[in-house]
Amino acid sequence: MDTTRTSEPTPLKTNSTTVERTSEREFAVTRTFDAPARLVFDAWTKPELLELWWAPKSIGIPLLSCEADVRVGGTYRFVFGHDGSETMAFFGRYIEVNPHSRLVWTNEEGDGGEAITTVTFEEKDGKTLLVLRERHPSKEAVDEAIGFGEGLRETFGQLDELLVTLGANEGRS
């Protein structure tokens, strides 16, 4: 009787992203990252890191510029497009910045009033639970914006890849 077995390689575990409408005017996106809160927060607040993961690669529209003055009262502006002729900008201001734990900013590009985004970073055992909540001025605004939450599944996967690189580089320092 042959007792040897061949086993399949274990696939890399990927963390799942959940998108949930939490009220008529709000949705939440949740994901756990295999990195400390400090690294995850840095990836959200340093423009040179943000530009590496924020634009979903599948849509084929690159991030042309990424400006973020991450401090209370500071502003951000992200511009997407293929060239200067047809661009789309997202912009607002930071209203709360607590390093490694919480960011709150306005989204001022819409016509129907500004939305407020809150991102929390909760570290446990070297992993970070990230919860992003967007509160909109109306149900209709959430209906339109929830697709952004769905798009975060891909961008959060890109963030996972960046965090692996940042963690590996940190280990060599």
Across the chain, how many H-helices and E-strands are there?
Answer: 3, 8
Pick from 88, 21, 14, 100: which is nearest to 55 by CA? 88
Q: What is the pLDDT of residue 58?
A: 85
Q: Yes or no: say if 117 and 107 are a contact pair by the CB < 8 Å rule.
A: yes
Q: Please report which confidence band the pLDDT of residue 20 belongs to, taking 50, 70 and 90 as the band edges.
A: very high
Arithmetic mean of pLDDT, 40-50: 96
Q: Please report which confidence band the pLDDT of residue 84 belongs to, taking 50, 70 and 90 as the band edges.
A: low
Q: What is the pLDDT of residue 9?
A: 34
All structural domains of the chain, each given as residue ranges with its CATH number in brackets, are: 18-55+98-172 (3.30.530.20)
Q: Residue 17: in which H helix or E strand, if any?
A: none
CA distance 43 to 113: 28
Q: Residue 162 corresponds to which tokens in the numbers above?
A: 């960046």
Q: Please report which confidence band the pLDDT of residue 14 belongs to, taking 50, 70 and 90 as the band edges.
A: low
**Averaged confidence pLDDT in the chain:** 86
User: What is the identity of the amino acid at 134?
Assistant: E
Say which DSSP state 145 is in: H
Q: What is the pLDDT of residue 13?
A: 52
Q: Considering only 40-44, 63-67, 103-107, which range has the smallest mean pLDDT?
A: 63-67
CA distance 119 to 96: 10
pLDDT in tens, 95-144: 999 999 999 999 987 666 789 999 999 999 999 999 999 999 999 888 88
pLDDT at 82 over 80: no
CA distance 54 to 127: 20
User: What is the identity of the amino acid at 163?
Assistant: L
Percent of the chain clearing pLDDT 90 (strictly above): 61
Q: How far apart are the first and last CA of the chain?
A: 51
Q: What is the pLDDT of residue 122?
A: 98
CA distance 56 to 158: 8
